[in-house]
Structure 1
Amino acid sequence: MSDYDVIVIGAGATGENVADRAVQGGLRAVIVEAELVGGECSYWACMPSKALLRSTRAIRAAQAVDGARQAVTGEVDVAAALRRRDRITHDWSDESQVDWLRGAGIDLVRGHATLTGARRVRVTRADGTAADLEARRAVVVATGSAALLPDIPGLAGIRPWTSRDATSAHAAPTSLAILGGGVVAAEMATAYAGFGTTVTMIVRSRLLGTMEPFAADLVTEALSDGGVDIRTGVEVVRAERVEGQDAVLHLSDGSRIAAAEVLVATGRTPRTGDLGVDAVGLTPGEWLDVDDTMLVRGTDWLYAVGDVNGRALLTHQGKYQARAAGDVIAARAAGQDVKDRPWGAHVATADHAAVPQVTFTDPEIASVGLTARAAERAGLRVRVLDYDLAAVAGASVHADEYRGQARAVVDEDRRVLVGATFAGPDVAELLHAATVAVVGEVPLHRLWHAVPAYPTLSEVWLRWLEGAGRATA
């Protein structure tokens, strides 16, 4: 049996980060990975999906500026866009990621990991042989999540795409039906419609329903203008496919949709089903409940970071959690009380009310913190500041006929920003300033002294402050 201070199960971005922080803290760490080092984000999620979106968005950005649009004489080259995606994913080779692990002083064991007891992990290799590992300090689960396949009669039999299939496809299908109305569904509808695919979305309630309604409305309108058929208020009740023909989806309103491919984007499920968590008193298939140090509740040695804990299913939040967990494990190994660290690096509190997210549709949606509705539900006395981004001087420079909207959500009792949402072309780069303001709880009267450069889209901050009233302190 090999022993380490820390065993990390899963070599995605979160697993890599927690192992790296533990090693930097003086501990010996090993990562166990059954697939590719680099994980979901590098090969099947963030990176390939944004690569698929970028080519079409670049063309549309040029077409929005007079003088540039005249130079755009063709449509997106789908084959070239897919080749670019392949370069970004390194053709699904993890050689460079393995080199990084080696350079960081992190050991790698390939195979499927299962917990066999407290601090013990068995790794079953591809050839069927097994190795047993034991952790002196901690085991960290960083196995992520998988696409959730709803229990719809016939759905499994039509061999639907999951997000992995959509981001790794080697050709654009002639037609695509998408089940779901969340971020993955909206982004893949944007990408494939841009490739010329006939796209139909089946949305049970509202597209991007957890976001500010104005942002969801802008994306809905843009998708519809781009030829996407959005069916809301309906769901699939049965699916079938005759070999060699399109899949047929029967909807709850009695209509039918035929498509060459069907993408299921209805949610995620934690990868804990075959992890052996029952050996340590946990339930397979459930999210791992953690505290703010990422310690699984009821244990003193098991940690869970990233999607698998269900807190915030975003790569950057997983990496944030991983840095916290790695520091915590190293601090506890050194006998330190993490509560004594006033600078708070050992707790992942931002997961609760300060999560930033960009939805890379066209237009983009960038948001952080609470929506107006969520803030009201939390019992805050809320003031909403809305501003038309097209009225900012920087918008007219950025693009002809710019369309966008921005909303700030203010806690009136504390006079601080608790949420912000931007919707429009290239608003992603506005987000971090809002994240700093929310996390730092910067009073509005101090934000008056953070002067936005002219002429940029960031001038919306000045307009928000004018809407909030004069500086009083």
Structure 2
Amino acid sequence: MPDSDSGATADSGATEYDVIVLGGGPAGENAAAYAIAGSARTAAIVEPEKVGGECSYWACVPSKALLRPGHVLGAALGLPGIEAEGPDTAAVLRRRDEFVHAHNGDHDDSSQVDWAVQQGIEVIRGTGRLDGERRVRVGDRILRARSAVVLATGTHAAVPDVPGLRDALPWTSRDATNLHEIPKRVVVIGGGVVACEAATWLSALGAEVTVLVRGERLLAGVEPFAGEYVASALTAQGVQILFGTQPLRVQRPQSADHGEGRIHGGLVTVHAQGSGGEITLVAEEIVVAAGRVPNTDGIGLETVGLPAGYVQVDDQLTVSAVTGEWLYAVGDINRRAALTHMGKYQGRVCGDVISARAEGRSLSGPRYRAYADHRAVPQVVFTDPEVAAVGLNAAAARKAGYDIRTVELDIAVAGSALARDDYMGRAALVIDTATDTLVGATFVGPDVGEQLHAATIAVAGRVPLDALWHAVPAFPAISEFWLRLLETDRSSLPSAV
């Protein structure tokens, strides 16, 4: 086996590992596990908070636990003969706490630590900081990596520089997903995924919600019809959405940090600018869902010649501006695809690359390149209705230079009609005319997230539409809408000669 540290001399007093990962979220966990799998190599994860990261305690897991009761209630009310009341808030929050292992105001990550230990990964508590080539400092302790250092420190919520907003101690996604009391009135700033999902569960739990959206539609990254469906559903649920509106200043004379998910003081007043002029909103709480920034301050990027901010990598997740093929970055920090499942995917690719390089194996195979980041990123927005999309929407495909055709129709098949009387949904495909393969798909409707993987396989595998014609959907499943899409596309093409 080749010497993975290229002959570098060990630091006196340093603790050596083959792989050191800064950040114990899903991306970092996967990178460490795959890098040492089936070998005698050693790995350490350095984590200042909780092993399991943002997703496990403050994002994907708690948000879906809060959203699911509303989805189930909506499905029940969509059938005749079923009577149902609103969710039991206390029961919903208890179930959420079980998923995030919340105890006495904190989160217990012992099960995640146990998993790491079982994989042969040592967990080091503290803030890791690069200290030159292959070196990491954790407090007074020096660690040295024989093969690789992986940056997986993630991101945190951005708070816009609006006068008075930071002093008001607004909720971020961490508070909204771990709420312990329901504000009577809430102002949500943002129109993306976090804002839409938070508005959905806050409203379902009884809050009066107003959403301030700078642009003219929700979920700007997907096909326009998807955001329109979500906006209509939120409005029907009682949510007020103010498009073309942004906060000017915020006032909260009695702000106080009462803890995560607790109302942060007295009433908050939001002065905002809309198309009709200035408006004033008063609420018990304000939620900021206006993007995220990388957790790179203080991790020593400058010691290896890197600027502050996001870290650029190649398709093997190797940091582009650092020589020697020893520094990697996975997950949100590299800004390729800020989604947990994509961070885990990058971690798997990164770990395989580290393993192959340590053992002197070829990197020529597709498993050693994260190419799904470029054209086959799947995402589900768990609003009600859900939005599920993969690949490029029509506008993005045209901008990327594809010659495309599109097919779009309502999801109206026997399966959807049987699922619920009030089923409303829509589906769209973006087709590359040069290869007759899918480059994107978007679905909106109840539980369409479960329909997405078929589209992801078609996009990632570049499956020709002629082949998809032979993928017969079961009857009477909702997935029959795939057949209707293909039939609609076929009827729009010139007849074969």
Q: Same fold (TM over 0.5)?
A: yes
TM-fit CA distance, 1:438: 0.4
For 1:402 and 1:75, locate their aligned partners in 2 and report how far apart those are by CA, in whole Å.
20
* Equivalent residue in structure 2 for 1:388, among 402, 407, 410: 410
* Equivalent residue in structure 1 for 2:345, among 311, 316, 320: 320
For 2:404 and 2:371, locate their aligned partners in 1 and report how far apart those are by CA, in whole Å.
22
* Equivalent residue in structure 2 for 1:166, among 171, 176, 184: 176
TM-fit CA distance, 1:171: 1.4
Q: Which amino acid aligns with 1:115?
A: L
Q: 1:390-433 CA distances to partner (integer Å, 9 max, x unpaired)? A: x2111111110210000011111110111100000011110000
* Equivalent residue in structure 2 for 1:211, among 222, 238, 244: 222
For 1:442 and 1:56, locate their aligned partners in 2 and report how far apart those are by CA, in whole Å.
36
1:13 is aligned to 26
1:175 is aligned to 185
SS in 2 for 1:207: coil
1:85 is aligned to 96
Q: 1:444-469 CA distances to partner (integer Å, 9 max, x unpaired)? A: 11111100001111111111111221
- Answer yes or no: is the 8 Å Cα contact 1:409–1:417 preserved in 2: yes
SS in 1 for 2:357: helix
What is the RMSD computed on CA atoms of the aligned residues?
1.3
Q: Which amino acid aligns with 2:175?
A: D
TM-fit CA distance, 1:259: 1.2
For 2:21 and 2:166, locate their aligned partners in 1 and report how far apart those are by CA, in whole Å.
32
TM-fit CA distance, 1:335: 1.4
2:57 is aligned to 43
For 1:358 and 1:162, locate their aligned partners in 2 and report how far apart those are by CA, in whole Å.
21
Q: Compared with structure 1, are the counterparts of its residues 4 and 427 closer, same or farther at alpha carbon in structure 2 (3 Å cutoff)?
A: same
2:368 is aligned to 346
TM-fit CA distance, 1:336: 2.1
Q: 1:369-393 CA distances to partner (integer Å, 9 max, x unpaired)? A: 010111111121111111210x211
Structure 1 runs (4+) deviating above 2 angstroms are: 470-473
TM-fit CA distance, 1:254: 1.1
* Equivalent residue in structure 1 for 2:134, among 101, 116, 119: 119
Counting only pairs closer than 5 Å after superposition, residues 266-281 of structure 1 correspond to structure 2 as: 266-281=290-305
For 2:266 and 2:178, locate their aligned partners in 1 and report how far apart those are by CA, in whole Å.
22
For 1:361 and 1:324, locate their aligned partners in 2 and report how far apart those are by CA, in whole Å.
30
- Answer yes or no: is the 8 Å Cα contact 1:14–1:319 preserved in 2: yes
Q: Compared with structure 1, are the counterparts of its residues 357 and 308 closer, same or farther at alpha carbon in structure 2 (3 Å cutoff)?
A: same
Counting only pairs closer than 5 Å after superposition, residues 215-254 of structure 1 correspond to structure 2 as: 215-243=226-254, 244-252=265-273, 253-254=277-278
Q: What is the TM-score of this pair, normalised by structure 1?
A: 0.95
For 1:259 and 1:354, locate their aligned partners in 2 and report how far apart those are by CA, in whole Å.
40
Q: What is the TM-score of this pair, normalised by structure 2?
A: 0.91
1:110 is aligned to 125
For 1:314 and 1:119, locate their aligned partners in 2 and report how far apart those are by CA, in whole Å.
28
SS in 2 for 1:117: coil
TM-fit CA distance, 1:242: 2.0
Q: Which runs of 5+ in 2 are unaligned?
A: 1-13, 255-264
Are 1:293 and 2:299 counterparts? no
Q: Which amino acid aligns with 1:303?
A: Y
1:429 is aligned to 450
For 2:72 and 2:219, locate their aligned partners in 1 and report how far apart those are by CA, in whole Å.
23
For 1:347 and 1:224, locate their aligned partners in 2 and report how far apart those are by CA, in whole Å.
43
Moved more, 246-255 or 325-334: 246-255
SS in 2 for 1:97: helix
Q: Which amino acid aligns with 1:376?
A: R
1:283 is aligned to 307
TM-fit CA distance, 1:245: 2.8
2:35 is aligned to 22
For 1:41 and 1:295, locate their aligned partners in 2 and report how far apart those are by CA, in whole Å.
24
Q: Which amino acid aligns with 2:303?
A: A
Q: 1:38-59 CA distances to partner (integer Å, 9 max, x unpaired)? A: 1100000000000011112111
SS in 1 for 2:367: coil
Q: Which amino acid aligns with 1:440?
A: G
- Answer yes or no: is the 8 Å Cα contact 2:306–2:321 preserved in 1: no
1:331 is aligned to 356
Q: Which amino acid aligns with 1:93?
A: D
Q: 1:289-327 CA distances to partner (integer Å, 9 max, x unpaired)? A: 000000010222110000000110000000000000000
* Equivalent residue in structure 1 for 2:395, among 369, 373, 383: 373
Q: Which amino acid aligns with 1:84?
A: R
2:261 is aligned to none
TM-fit CA distance, 1:237: 1.1
Q: Compared with structure 1, are the counterparts of its residues 472 and 452 closer, same or farther at alpha carbon in structure 2 (3 Å cutoff)?
A: farther
For 2:278 and 2:150, locate their aligned partners in 1 and report how far apart those are by CA, in whole Å.
48
SS in 2 for 1:191: helix
Q: Which amino acid aligns with 2:236?
A: D
Moved more, 133-142 or 461-470: 461-470
Q: 1:92-119 CA distances to partner (integer Å, 9 max, x unpaired)? A: 1001111111111111110011111111
SS in 1 for 2:167: helix
1:450 is aligned to 471
TM-fit CA distance, 1:472: 7.2
TM-fit CA distance, 1:25: 4.9
TM-fit CA distance, 1:218: 0.3
Q: Which amino acid aligns with 2:306?
A: L
Q: Which runs of 5+ in 1 are unaligned?
A: 125-129
- Aligned sequence identity (%): 51
Q: Compared with structure 1, are the counterparts of its residues 134 and 198 closer, same or farther at alpha carbon in structure 2 (3 Å cutoff)?
A: same
1:363 is aligned to 385
For 2:350 and 2:143, locate their aligned partners in 1 and report how far apart those are by CA, in whole Å.
20
Q: 1:259-311 CA distances to partner (integer Å, 9 max, x unpaired)? A: 11111110010110111111111122x10000000001022211000000011
Q: Which amino acid aligns with 2:68?
A: R
TM-fit CA distance, 1:337: 2.9
1:127 is aligned to none
Q: 1:162-195 CA distances to partner (integer Å, 9 max, x unpaired)? A: 1011111111111111110000000000000000
SS in 2 for 1:165: helix
Q: Which amino acid aligns with 2:248?
A: V
Q: 1:321-375 CA distances to partner (integer Å, 9 max, x unpaired)? A: 0000000001011112312x2xx11110000111000000000000000101111
SS in 2 for 1:394: helix
SS in 1 for 2:68: helix
For 1:370 and 1:37, locate their aligned partners in 2 and report how far apart those are by CA, in whole Å.
33
For 1:60 and 1:98, locate their aligned partners in 2 and report how far apart those are by CA, in whole Å.
37
For 1:190 and 1:98, locate their aligned partners in 2 and report how far apart those are by CA, in whole Å.
33
1:189 is aligned to 199
